[in-house]
Amino acid sequence: MRELDRIKENHTKQLEDRVHGLIEECRKRPTQMTDEELDEEFDKIWNETKKELSYPELEIKDIYDNVFHHLRANLLHRGSHANELLSQKNLQDCGVEPYSYTIDGLYKQLKSKVNKFFNGKDHTMAVQEIADSIIDACTQLITEKLERKTDYHDTYIQEILHIIDESLQKNLDVKTEIKLEVSLKQHICGFAARRFQKMHEDFLHVNDPYRCLCRNKDKFCADFKDVFQKRDQCQKKAEEFTYQCLKPAVKDFVNRSLGPDIIAEMLTNQQFSTRMFFQYTVLLDLLSKDDFESYVSYILSYEDYVKKWILHQILEHFTDRSTTFRFEDQHLKSSISSINDAINKAKMGTSVNLKKFVQNICKELGDKLVISQDSLGAFMILNNANQEQFAHSLTKCVNEMGQTLREEFKESDIQTTLGHLHVKPQNVLFTRLIGCGQQCPFCKTPCDAGGKDHTEHWASLHRSTGLGTYRFHLSQKLDTDVCSSLVITDTDFRCYATNNEWHPYKRYKEIFPHWKIAPDVSLEASDYWKYVMAKYNNQFAKEYSAKPADIPPTWKRITRKQAEASLKESFGIK
């Protein structure tokens, strides 16, 4: 980028020198030149300069090749089989159709034993849910990269591969099936490479020195005629600097500052005050919704559900826009004040010309506002405005710009505003309130350990394993037992993590070493989850391709009011 900026700056300088020479030549002519004649003279020198300037050919990188290189390096530790799978499909053909996971000879002949397990169909569904969640997270990151409109960098695909690796480890908690890992990474990397290739080519198109020069031809011609005819450029140049250079920088500053404001505002709400109260509020909201699909999404796609729930709360909280507008207005006023201070400081200095005067203004604003060098370079050429008059006009234009932006902010809806933010509030709040997002491998209860850096996961209150899709093998009925009781029994389980082999609950740590499930033979599911399982028993069975659980009669008598009271008791809410 620096090299491109240097080339564009050199082109502009050469053109400016040629135009100054043309101005001197035209002024020596005995007759007054018309606008049409000036246009013709400018066209001549423009075409001559274009031919003489050197335009280094911008090399279009093969992003697919770059991405494939990083993907192959990422899978090296998986051995020759992973490399063989990788070579069977061209990356350009990956990520075109929706990703679909299928079992390929994973399950062996089932052993005839009365116990609990996670069946093959459930496994396919669970892995598909995990894959969809990972794809969504990567797609979100790709979208954020594209919104920046910068050139592609290899760190982008490295970030994506890190997300995939971290998510696979977190969600499967076992050595991932090689075929699954390769196919998922191929799908995501193929999609990413396609988008990044276009982003790279778009960037080169926008920043191509030849196109950048041509883009400003009409402006350069108008400036040439202004200087030749000694027209007052003060107002015109003040408007140009304000709206082409300062306005985009001010909007960017507001968008950089608004995300943390929204996060701080949401944290003042009681529901976001602590992790425990947040979990309580989400579960209470589920109870109020009385919607089975929402429960399934919460249990099986916890992280995705909670992020969407947080986003919905943000949209609801800022519906009338008065609070966000107050934040935007504060940052706007701060920006305008900084610009006016920079103008006044530059006026007190000893700038030898207008170019130096503007450079001093930009230097003062450097820590706060990021001003486009392309826009600034185009503004600087053929600028003969009077410094003092320019400063006066600029102050007026800046204040008018402030009012214009104020109106734009008022008219913008919260959904659009959130889309422009550098920091996504829902992601920050999720990390702050949820932490790792891990779920119990048996009952799907979320981890209660704070943050992401802990090495052991635990939950204070587990629930029936049937809610996590576990059922008895022979009867296929969903299980009502709680995993914290099962870990001190002689019962066995099997699932994807055990390669579908039976394994004692007592030795669950051998399969899920990062989970600590405190044993308690007396512990039963809370009335809240008893109520949920009893109410939606048939629907859970259908959803999980199982048979309804044998629900104890006492569970069926639990009322919604009792379920809510149980929820309050579980989370210590008075």
Q: What are the structure tokens assigned to 193, written together?
A: 């490479």
For 132, 134, 222, 512, the CA distances from 167, given in Å and listed in that order, are: 11, 7, 56, 15
| Sole residue written with tokens 């499930």 | 517
Backbone angles phi, psi at 264, to 5 degrees: -60, -40
Name the residue among 36, 41, 50, 3 with its Cα closest to residue 22.
41
In the sheet with 492-494, reading across from the earlier edge strand, the strands are: 471-472, 116-117, 492-494, 503-504
Residue identified by tokens 């037992």 is 481
List Cα–Cα distances, 189 to 5, 87, 172, 242, 281, in angstroms.
31, 14, 20, 41, 37
Tokens of 5: 């900026």
Bigger pLDDT: 125 vs 169: 169
pLDDT, residue 114, reads 37
Contact yes or no for 439/298 (Cβ under 8 A): no
Going by pLDDT thresholds of 50, 70 and 90, the confidence category of residue 11 is confident
Predicted confidence at residue 522, as pLDDT, reads 57
**How confident is the model over 85-104, as pLDDT tens digits?**
999 999 999 999 999 887 65
pLDDT tens string 161-205 = 999 998 887 766 545 678 889 999 999 999 999 999 999 999 988
Residue 549 in contact with residue 466, Cβ under 8 Å?
yes
A 10 A CB-CB count for 438 gives 23
Hey, CA dihedral for 339, 344, 349, 352, is it positive or negative? positive
Question: Tokens for 348?
Answer: 């007190």
Residue that the structure tokens 């003092």 belong to = 388
Q: What's the number of CA atoms in the CB half-sphere (13 Å) around residue 111? A: 13
Question: Residue 430 contacts by C-beta under 8 Å, 6 or more apart in sequence?
Answer: 303, 306, 307, 310, 437
Q: Which of 47-51, 113-117, 403-407 has the lowest mean pLDDT?
A: 113-117
Q: What is the mean pLDDT of the chain?
A: 85
- The total number of residues written for the chain in this structure: 574
With tokens 């701060």, the residue in question is 334
Average pLDDT over residues 280-306: 93
Question: Among 164, 136, 13, 134, which Cα is nearest to 74's?
Answer: 164
Residues 6 or more apart whose Cβ sits within 8 Å of residue 217 = 46
Residues 6+ apart with CB under 8 A from 469: 118, 122, 126, 300, 478, 544, 546
The C-alpha atoms of residue 472 and residue 226 are separated, in whole angstroms, by 86
pLDDT tens digits for 492-520? Answer: 998 878 878 899 999 999 999 989 998 87
Cβ neighbours for 295, distance < 8 A, ≥ 6 positions apart: 286, 532, 536
How does pLDDT run across 539-565, given as a tens digit for each residue? Answer: 999 999 899 999 999 999 999 999 999
The CA-based diameter of the chain, rounded to the nearest angstrom, is 109
Which one is predicted more confidently, 102 or 118? 102
Residue 499 CA to residue 150 CA, distance in Å, equals 45
For residue 103, the model assigns a pLDDT of 61
The dihedral formed by the CA atoms of 410, 416, 417 and 418, expressed in degrees to the nearest 10: 150
Residues 438/303, Cβ–Cβ less than 8 Å: no
Q: Are 475 and 541 in contact (CB under 8 A)?
A: no
Partnered with residue 457 across adjacent β-strands are: 515
Contact 484, 524 (CB under 8 A): no
Residues of 336-362 as b/e, b for ≥16 C-beta within 10 angstroms?
bebbeebbeebbeeebeebeebbebbb
The predicted pLDDT at position 493 comes to 92
Distance (Å, whole) CA 278 – CA 108: 42
pLDDT tens track for 231-260: 666 788 888 899 989 999 999 999 999 999
In three-state secondary structure terms, 107 is coil
- pLDDT band for 111, please (50, 70, 90 cuts): very low
pLDDT class of 271 with cuts at 50, 70, 90: very high
pLDDT at 122: 57
